[in-house]
């Protein structure tokens, strides 16, 4: 291949993704499609976790929550969308926000079903949607999902309640949620904030209550497998199982601290969510050498030297759905 051809292809790859916004949704289109490997029948709609966002900063210089994942899917034929929810609020509030955006995706695309992917607290959002609109859900996949809650959330709530600092903590963390929205170019009050509700929802106790109402895909035995197909939906999960994966990644220090303080109590974990808590539907893998942020390719794709590429894993999952006609 001539050098000019190589430069043309490289340039197309660099410019092959552009982000368009519809309401609070982020859609990624590809100007240069490499293949149809990830071309699912139905759009894929992502749900971020607590402290989550779509994109911080400008389109040119910002950082996506699903770092490089959606552009890669678009380049391989998929129709990826990222929903935006309150950085801090209850599973039910965030779930309703997600459902409203799923309805918007269907209205825009004409699709009657969708593939859902949720990370961390986003797992509750996709499970909520599967519970209230199963007829419009083709598949659900949770990545590092807090499907049985987290010891971290339970411990933070216990300390806050025992020291009488719960209201102060709520104020501080909810204010941080406004900063996250501001960094996305939104008004800080455009989404409601309730840090205590978020903590309760992701605690062991709060998630147990949530699971009484949304049982689809839950393991049939302790730390076991759930059904891969239920109520017309295919159900999957994946997770990492290491708190620290690369000393050059500054976020690893936070994962290590959370693991030392609480997460280790639940056994193997990704720094926040235990392997057992992440179980949902059919487990594709629960031993990725990733921590909780590596699961979404943050920060900036830094991960362990021998760890698999998260971008490629999401692409493979899209192909899995494609082969099932989803």
pLDDT at 22 over 60: no
Predicted confidence band of residue 114 (pLDDT cuts 50, 70, 90): very high
Q: Output 7 or 141, whichever has higher pLDDT.
A: 141
pLDDT at 20 over 80: no
Q: Output 105 or 7, whichever has higher pLDDT.
A: 105
Among candidates 259, 120, 275, 287, which has minimal Cα distance to 201?
120
Return the CATH number of 19-323, one of 3.40.190.10, 3.40.50.1820, 3.90.1150.140, 3.30.450.20. 3.40.50.1820
The three-state secondary structure class of 108 is helix
Average pLDDT over residues 144-160: 96
pLDDT > 70 in the chain, percent: 92
Average pLDDT over residues 76-102: 97
pLDDT at 11 over 50: no
Least confident of 46-55, 57-66, 249-258: 57-66
pLDDT at 193 over 70: yes
What's residue 152's pLDDT?
A: 96
pLDDT > 90 in the chain, percent: 82
List residues bridging with 25 in a β-sheet: 22
Predicted confidence band of residue 272 (pLDDT cuts 50, 70, 90): very high
pLDDT at 246 over 70: yes
pTM: 0.92
pLDDT at 159 over 60: yes
DSSP letters along 198-236, please?
A: HHHHHBHHHHHHHHHH--TT--SSTT----SEETTEEEE
Q: Output 300 or 202, whichever has higher pLDDT.
A: 202
pLDDT at 270 over 50: yes
Q: How many helices (H) and strands (E) does the chain have?
A: 10, 11
All residues at 6 or more sequence positions from 317 whose CB lies less than 8 Å from its CB, including other chains: 117, 141, 236, 238, 284
List residues with catalytic annotation. 120, 270, 292
What's residue 16's pLDDT?
A: 41
Average pLDDT over residues 271-287: 98
Cα 10 to Cα 67, 71, 161, 194, 291: the distances in Å are 19, 15, 55, 45, 31
Question: Locate tokens 């493979």: which residue?
Answer: 316
All residues at 6 or more sequence positions from 37 whose CB lies less than 8 Å from its CB, including other chains: 76, 77, 315, 318, 319, 322
What's residue 59's pLDDT?
A: 66
Predicted confidence band of residue 144 (pLDDT cuts 50, 70, 90): very high
What's residue 62's pLDDT?
A: 76
What's residue 1's pLDDT?
A: 36
Q: What integer best gives the mean pLDDT of the chain?
A: 91
């Amino acid at each position: 291949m001539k050098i000019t051809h190589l430069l043309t292809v490289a340039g197309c790859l660099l410019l092959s993704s552009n982000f368009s916004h519809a309401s609070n949704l982020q859609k990624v289109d590809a100007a240069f499609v490499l293949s149809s490997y990830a071309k699912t029948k139905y759009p894929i709609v992502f749900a971020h976790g607590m402290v989550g966002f779509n994109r911080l900063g400008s389109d040119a210089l910002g950082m996506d929550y699903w770092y490089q994942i959606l552009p890669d899917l678009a380049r391989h034929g998929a129709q990826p969308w990222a929903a935006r929810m309150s950085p801090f609020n209850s599973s039910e509030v965030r779930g309703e926000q997600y459902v409203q955006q799923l309805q918007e995706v269907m209205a825009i695309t004409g699709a009657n079903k969708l593939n859902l992917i949720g990370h961390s607290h986003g797992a509750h959002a996709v499970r909520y949607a599967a519970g209230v609109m199963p007829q419009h859900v083709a598949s659900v996949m949770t990545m590092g999902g807090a499907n049985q809650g987290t010891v971290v959330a339970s411990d933070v709530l216990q300390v806050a309640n025992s020291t009488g600092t719960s209201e102060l903590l709520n104020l501080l963390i909810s204010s941080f949620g406004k900063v996250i929205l501001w960094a996305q170019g939104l008004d800080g009050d455009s989404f409601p904030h309730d840090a205590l509700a978020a903590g309760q929802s992701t605690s062991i106790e709060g998630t147990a209550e949530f699971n009484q109402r949304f049982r689809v895909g839950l393991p049939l035995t302790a730390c076991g497998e759930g059904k891969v197909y239920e109520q017309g939906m295919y159900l999957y999960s994946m997770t990492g199982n290491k708190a620290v994966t690369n000393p050059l990644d500054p976020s690893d220090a936070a994962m290590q601290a959370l693991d030392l303080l609480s997460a280790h109590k639940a056994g193997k974990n990704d720094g926040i969510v235990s392997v057992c808590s992440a179980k949902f539907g059919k487990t594709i893998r629960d031993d990725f050498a990733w921590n909780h942020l590596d699961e979404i390719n943050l920060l900036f794709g830094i991960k362990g030297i021998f760890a698999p590429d998260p971008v490629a894993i999401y692409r493979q999952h899209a192909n899995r759905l494609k082969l099932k006609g989803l």
